[in-house]
Amino acid sequence: MNACIRAIVVASESAGHTVIGFEHGFHGLLASNWRKLDTKKVHNIIQRGGTILRSARCEEFKQDTAAKNAASHLNDLAIDAILILGGDGSFRGAQHLSQFWDGQVIGLPATIDNDIFGTDTTIGYYTAIQTAMDSIDKVRDTADAF
């Protein structure tokens, strides 16, 4: 996800756009807990796993009042587009938000489950497979030592 965040920031900044990131996903959006992201802040995150913004499930976002509050926060910040990286739960949240907000809601499939309809692979899927394979190889190497 960090590589994707970095790519978004670099491309957006070169096009003259400002990028902010919400901490802990929808939780940060609801609490208006955000930070400005620029190329200086993301230049060395590509090799780090996970996401610098941290992620979390947000059951509260299933409620209309939460989606309306999120839409209000986006309007207050004069945001005209939001990119949501995540899996099926994040995409359900994105769809819910789109019912109450007129800005562009863009979903980027990022899940180790690779279960997003309409895409062959998702961000994180091959990394998860490679990590599992590396772990299996290490266990096999250890087992062969006995």
Whole-angstrom distance, CA of residue 129 vs CA of residue 114: 11
Is 64 noted as a catalytic residue in this protein?
A: no
Instruction: Return the closest-CA partner of residue 103 out of 84, 86, 87.
Output: 84
Q: Which class for 12: exposed (0-12), middle (13-18), buried (19 or more C-beta within 10 A)? A: middle
Which among 64, 113, 115, 134 is annotated as catalytic? Answer: 113
Q: Are 75 and 101 in contact (CB under 8 A)?
A: yes
Question: Would you name the residues annotated as active-site residues?
Answer: 113
